[in-house]
Amino acid sequence: MGITGLLTKLKPVQKQITLDQLSSKRLAIDGYSWLHKATIGCSYELANGLNTNSYLKYFIKRIGMLKKYDIKPYFVFDGAKINVKEGTELKRLENRNLYNKRGMSLWNCGKHLQAIEYFKRSIDVTPEMAKCIMEYCQSEDIDFIVAPFEADSQMVYLEKQNLVDGIISEDSDLLIFGCKNLITKLNDKGEARQIESKNFNMATKFDLSQLTDDRLRFMVCLAGCDYTKGIRNIGLSLAYSYSQSDYPLESVLNDNIGLNRITKLEADQLLKEFHFADCSFQFQRVFCPIQEKIVTLNEIPSEYLEDPEKAKILYSSIGKVVNKHTHMVDAVTDDDDIDHDAHKLISIGERDPSNFQSILVNREKMINETGRSQYSIQYYYVNLWKKYASPLPLNPIFNRIPVGNISMSYN
């Protein structure tokens, strides 16, 4: 979701552009961001487990707009949930479930327009929906990849490796991961806003170029992000002030205990969250399409590997992967023990990112095969909740089966 208020603070850095200025560029695109927008027009069908090609049509229309300017899209889809965001994800899941129940109640009372508004807020994008888009991309020879974890870190990795020239996304987190060229607020007219990190100094009252990468992460952790709620009543402005000095985190926490913003217990929890967030922003695991293996966003310094406590935090925050010896998802510390072949299947959309043993099937084909009763949103939420609560991380949400050659038109 990003860091609240960051894009607003960076308004002096933003440049209004049109897509013709990006002609011939290859751009990574946050696939789930587009899918979330695409669900607005088919929220009832998605909430009730009905077939729909509305979200696919949204993609086809937008891809056509990019092709008009000779822009080559490279779609990046989210993978498995990362442990460091578990609290955030569970809260979102709980809220969506409540919105769905409210929507169903209103619908049954005949208040359809009100119900639709709740359905829109209840929809979560699923790997099966992403698979529908992937199959279209395959048919059109459009590049895509499924990240082992978050699309944000995967897209920044592609940019770092010069595999893309920039990133289209609404998520300001990308700038903290290290994005150099962010294209945001893209509309149907081909207008967008561009934020280039080399121009951070243009925001004179909020000059991020004055901060080291360490202090930039420090700032967003104080203010709050997806990995930590931060300190109450500390917005970006105050967090920026703290970050301009070498004031240590422990001192900031003690100051805010004294100001009654947080308790000692909360400070201890925040300290842990900050360490996990710091590692995740720097070293989250991604998939390298060139080497065809799991790597980290940035190389891990030896100091993290030589210190047992730092190593424990590191491998608990960068994403658990498949162990090729045990065939289980674990905090693998040796790259040679990772089942890179299993993760390759995930990266090309052949396996479910949350369960590498499960074949990933297009949502619309699945409904044709199993019927709406087994793919209603209520069924999805119940089973997803069980997955989060279960001690067995490999339990599938559905018992998926190959559905054969069910035809699907992209016209």
Together in a domain, 196 and 226 = no
Structural domain that includes position 82: 6-89+123-202
Q: Which of the two residues, 296 and 107, has the higher pLDDT score? A: 296
Question: Is the model's pLDDT at 397 over the cut of 60?
Answer: no
Q: Please write the tens of the pLDDT for every residue from 151-186.
A: 999 999 999 999 999 999 999 999 999 999 999 999
* Structural domain contains residue 271: yes
Whether 190 is in a domain gets the answer yes
State the pLDDT confidence band at 382, using cuts at 50, 70 and 90. very low
- Shared domain for 252 and 148, answered yes or no, is no
Instruction: Please check whether residue 298 lies inside any domain of the structure.
Output: yes
Give pLDDT tens digits for 60-104.
999 999 999 999 999 999 999 987 555 566 666 677 677 777 777
Do 215 and 298 belong to one domain?
yes
Q: In terms of domains, do 298 and 163 share one?
A: no
Q: Are residues 152 and 216 located together in one domain of the fold?
A: no
- Assess whether 195 and 270 both reside in one domain: no
60 and 16 share one domain: yes
pLDDT value at 13 more than 90 = yes
pLDDT at 44: 81
* Last residue in a domain, options 144, 167, 202: 202
pLDDT band with cut points at 50, 70 and 90 for residue 400: very low
User: What is the model's pLDDT at position 386?
Assistant: 43
pLDDT at 247 over 60: yes
Picking from 280, 297, 319, the residue at the C-terminal end of a domain is: 319
- Is residue 391 in a domain? no
| Percent of residues, the chain, with pLDDT higher than 70 | 85
Residue range 108-160, pLDDT digits in tens: 787 777 776 766 676 788 999 999 999 999 999 999 999 999 999 999 999 99
Higher pLDDT, 338 or 108: 338
**CATH number of the domain encompassing residue 179:** 3.40.50.1010
Provide the pLDDT confidence category of residue 401 given band limits of 50, 70 and 90. very low
Q: Is 64 inside any structural domain?
A: yes
Distance CA 192, CA 172 (A): 15
Q: How far is CA 131 from CA 39, 200, 267, 357, 392, in A?
A: 15, 37, 42, 16, 24
The answer to whether residue 254 sits within a structural domain is yes
380, pLDDT greater than 70: no
Of the two residues 238 and 43, the one the predictor is more confident about is 238
Residue 216 has a pLDDT of 97
* Pair (26, 169) in one structural domain: yes
Query: What percent of the chain stands above pLDDT 90?
Result: 71
pLDDT of res. 103: 72
Q: Dig out the tokens for 315 from the structure.
A: 């491998």
Q: Is residue 340 part of a domain?
A: no
Q: How many domains in the chain?
A: 2
- For residue 352, being part of any structural domain is answered with no
Averaged pLDDT score across all residues of the chain: 87
CA dihedral sign of residues 136, 139, 141, 145: positive
Do 61 and 82 belong to one domain? Answer: yes
Q: Tell me: do 189 and 262 sit in the same domain.
A: no
Give me the pLDDT at residue 106, please: 74
Looking at the predicted structure, is the pLDDT value of residue 345 above 50?
yes
Characterize the bridge pairing of strands 143-146 and 72-77.
parallel
pLDDT given for residue 200 in this prediction:
98
Domain boundary among 319, 353, 376: 319
Cα distance between residue 241 and residue 345, in whole Å: 45
Q: What is the mean pLDDT of residues 203-215?
A: 95
Are residues 287 and 139 part of one domain?
no
Residues 215 and 198 in one domain: no
Write the pLDDT tens digit of every residue in 280-327: 999 999 999 999 999 999 999 999 999 999 999 999 999 999 999 999
Output the pLDDT for position 112. 72
More confident residue, 289 or 381: 289
Q: In angstroms, what CA-CA distances link 218 with 5, 248, 266, 360? A: 16, 9, 17, 38
Confidence at residue 233, expressed as pLDDT on a 0 to 100 scale: 87
